[in-house]
Amino acid sequence: MRSQDQTQDWQQLSSADALLNSNRREQALAAIKSSLSNCLSETNLQLTVSGLKSKTRGKVRDIYDSGDYLVLVLNETSLWWFEKTKLITSNAVVSAPDKNVTIAKKCSVFPVEFVVRGFLTGTTDTSLWTVYKNGIRNCCGNVLPDADHDVPVTPDEIIKSGLMTRTDYEEVSRKALSLFKYGQHVALEHGLILVDTKYEFGKANDGSIVLIDEVHTPDSSRYWIANSYEEHFQNGLEPENVDKEFLRLWFTSHCNPYEDEVLPDATLDLVCELAWRYIFLYETITNSKFEFPLTEEPIHDRISRNVASALSLPNLC
């Protein structure tokens, strides 16, 4: 446990500027390297937890069906944002029995990702900056003046194709914009710029619209360091980012990640840098210190134990 003085010292270090100028990066990288042997590339809770019926692998998480609920292997940053944004929109979270697990309500998911952008940026073929550079000035129904998601689609196309009703679309749009505005405010308070993000929503059994999946994580969002943005912009440099954009840039310079069947393995330094950025973002946004897992108990065993215990409770809600 930390003393009150230690906690206050840590909170004073929790802005982006303070963390960047402290020795926290070196401390974290040392801890990351010593923890690499106890990391998970995937989970197999269906083999260790009774009652889990199926497993689905996503890009950044594993999802299990327990019958009444979904069990998602998720990161702590998303859990923090889900809690902080409850006044803007309700969400599907039921409980978090482990730092890396969320138990969520089952929902009827809208088959539309709501992407909100504060800047034209990106490196992939579907990113708004790439579209803009290629001369396209009307994207997803938005007219871009001269100086995404997977399948670009306009609001009218969403409604006409039956993906969403107009009422549901308008409610979700309002929620997405409010979430982004709040996210930008919180990020800037901590020395960061929330550049863009994507949200997913669904309908709960009672018909209410709820936020699902993840919120403002490095997997769904881009972040830049605020105090260096203007200088980098004026000099034509890439903004300092605190997400996985550098990983996208590395892969696009070494292969075609959308067409190549076999992708190169990320280097050890790249893996450690990515882990540090995720930790940096968590500590900066939440104003708390990331706790590295103890190595005595394998992570998969810990997660299995905590999920099994949670699912055994008679009144999980």
Sketch the domain layout of the chain as residue ranges.
4-311
Higher pLDDT, 38 or 92: 92
**Per-residue confidence at 180, pLDDT binned at 50, 70, 90?**
very high
Residue 144 has pLDDT above 70, yes or no: no
User: Which pLDDT tens digit goes with each residue over 250-290?
Assistant: 888 999 887 888 889 989 999 999 999 999 999 999 999 99
Residue 210 has pLDDT above 90, yes or no: yes
User: Which neighbouring-strand residues pair with 115?
Assistant: 198
Residue 197 has pLDDT above 50, yes or no: yes
DSSP string, 7-73: HHHHHHT-SHHHHHTSSHHHHHHHHHHHHGGG--S---GGGTSTT--EEEE-SS-EEEE-SSEEEEE
Question: Which pLDDT value is given to residue 41?
Answer: 83
Q: Is 216 left (phi over 0), alpha (psi -120 to 50) or beta?
A: left
Residue 76 has pLDDT above 50, yes or no: yes
**Per-residue confidence at 317, pLDDT binned at 50, 70, 90?**
low
Q: Out of 3.30.470.20, 3.30.70.3420, 3.40.50.800, 3.40.50.620, which CATH number does the structure's domain 4-311 have? A: 3.30.470.20
- The percent of residues in the chain predicted with pLDDT above 70, rounded, is 84
Question: Which pLDDT value is given to residue 149?
Answer: 45
Average the pLDDT over 109-113 and give the result: 95
Residue 183 has pLDDT above 80, yes or no: yes
Q: Which of 44, 46, 104, 52 is nearest to 78 (CA)?
A: 104
State the chain's mean pLDDT as an integer: 85
Tokens of 173: 């749009």
Dist. CA 316–CA 41, nearest whole Å: 28
Residue 140 has pLDDT above 80, yes or no: no
Q: What is the pTM of this model?
A: 0.83
Question: Which pLDDT value is given to residue 97?
Answer: 95
Higher pLDDT, 10 or 168: 168
**Per-residue confidence at 243, pLDDT binned at 50, 70, 90?**
confident
Average the pLDDT over 59-63 and give the result: 85
Residue 235 has pLDDT above 80, yes or no: yes
Average the pLDDT over 176-181 and give the result: 98
Question: Which pLDDT value is given to residue 130?
Answer: 54
